[in-house]
A and B are shown apart, each in its own frame.
Chain A
């Protein structure tokens, strides 16, 4: 009996009991579907995080205060100057401080985040001003009260006017708006990147933050292949600037973009695995359902097995027949589950804005896994069928 005959016969006997077959495969359908959807959503959120961090800049290296409880932040504006002066692999560098502020001006006030940065920041972020100009190195040196605002802030405060040249107040300090940033829209996590005000770093330190220490230094390496060199170089420069002895640990932490992505997506990755594993359990339960029904089916079809044996079926033929049935059952359950998962993922994306990524590899994997479940859980019933004594089987009713 060749493979196509086997599949045809098993399809026929599956279709003979439509309702039961559907209920049997339901476990597999739900299992496969939930595994795929869970993993797709997990992958999607990882990708969102990745995109989000990638959009933070190109060839980005970030210097932050040291991690740990009693480690003091010693990053200062002079460090940035030194990096910019001495770093041969460094393309651009800017100190960054952030503070949440309500800005007042135009037609009202607006809560936003004020960034104290240097002109290099725009290059690091690959950002441009749409109207007006960015403040200059000189403005930073003079602690100029100049600001560049994002599109959202511009719309909120000056809905009808050109904000360039207008004045507004941040923490009771009047600032002059010199430029409006090109709109960037929302980032991959859905937060509005245009809801921002940028002021010279020195001004922010003295007027808004009242601390000389920087929250971070953002650096863009001269090119992608010089990332590692730049990272090592910046580390050396900072150690020298902070006068660290060779055996002392860094009093800052350095991370490149890949490491940031790694760190940020590790939670999502763990979550993906956890969800996938839980869904995998339901697949297992589905497999047990198949075994259960196959056992019932074998008992019910004892007479049929007897007939087949009497007309010359070998034990192997019976084994193959029942194994094929359970594989066809679980595989078709798997395929339905895949289709359902694709549909559900689209629904999640369109209705809830969740990002779901189904990789073709994973589809193949789950189809393969469904088939494996069929073989694994179908083997025992099939073996039971094939081990029957033909005389007893023929006598069964």
Chain B
């Protein structure tokens, strides 16, 4: 009972832009609008080469459809009771952070070093403290994966400080 009352109160007291539906609606409309604007900068082809429609027409139609359908969802969401989203836990943000670290290391230092760093980072912050398992996920397993892809599939990985030790 209290729960229902709290929800009703929360719904009334919070401005509309705090509602989850609005945030989702806003994000989709904003991105779609930016993409729609960018379609106007696409090159056009002369009528003789134009097969049916211009290259920008089809994406434009899709973006207008997405914006229209999102608006319908937003309108219909007013009829739905307000639902408070559970906030995301710390490990989620740490995992996102590990992705960013992965991108930076893979771009600047080494692809496999990036995998190792991400693996140990994620495993540790998700609660693993045993050294053997941390070594397993960060060194042994990526090494097995590297050998497998390199030897069996004949794949050449991007150069980097560790990968170069193998290649040169």
* B and A form one assembly: no
